[in-house]
Amino acid sequence: MDLSKKLIAEFIGTFWLVFAGCGSALISAGFPNLGIGFLGVALAFGLTVLTMAYAIGHISGCHLNPAVSIGLWTANRFETKELIPYIVAQLAGAILGATLLYLIVSGKAGFEIGGFASNGYGKLSPAGYGLTSAFLTEAVLTFMFLFIILGSTSKKAPSALAPVAIGLGLTLIHLVSIPVTNTSVNPARSTAAAIFAENGAITQLWLFWVAPIIGAVIAGIIWRWLGSSED
């Protein structure tokens, strides 16, 4: 597949993840009487990945996440020459998604940007969790996310069900970590939201790059040993 087509697919897919996932939190979660709540937001993020996995998985692999690309590269499942272009495309798609969300939500009278579905720890954690808790949560859950991705897309796994496993995996990750960090496991998603947030989230953005990448790299290293005979 031509690299330019892969990058466009990643751009569109990451746009969808941020626009629909963060949009569910900003627009629908707290809507009076009809709000989708905590569970709805978790499911929305899972559905963004599931739908895009079927739509663009055959084109780009549907990474939608710099940590995923780095983890797959570490596991020898992704080419080095495509790594940086993928990350750039993911960041661009995420920022476009956040930009359009900003234009939509700022059109409501009395709306305050506040956290803008951003990620954080300490005062910026939804339930007040500190830096160590946030770091461990993001690293461990990204590790498990990569482990699910690597396992469900291995040659001996039923390929038709891989998007379901990955989407449900991301849903479960959100159910665990929304109270802790508002769930990142994705540096592109965190960057896009932090740009527009008015709560200082940009100053904590480093954690939502470092922790997911560490978790992804560890998963990739372990998978190279554990699943090498299958890939």
Residues of the chain under the 50 pLDDT cut: none
Token digits of residue 200: 């200082």
Confidence at residue 176, expressed as pLDDT on a 0 to 100 scale: 97
What the chain holds in terms of domains, given with CATH numbers, is 3-226 (1.20.1080.10)
Confidence at residue 53, expressed as pLDDT on a 0 to 100 scale: 97
CA 53 to CA 199: how far, in whole Å? Answer: 33
**HSE-up (13 A, CA, CB side) for residue 100:** 14
CA 23 to CA 80: how far, in whole Å? Answer: 33
CA 197 to CA 176: how far, in whole Å? Answer: 23
Token digits of residue 24: 């569910």
30-66 residue pLDDT tens: 776 667 888 999 999 999 999 999 999 999 999 999 9
CA 140 to CA 151: how far, in whole Å? Answer: 16
Confidence at residue 229, expressed as pLDDT on a 0 to 100 scale: 53
Q: At what angle do helices 37-60 and 162-181 cross, to 10 degrees?
A: 140
Confidence at residue 231, expressed as pLDDT on a 0 to 100 scale: 54
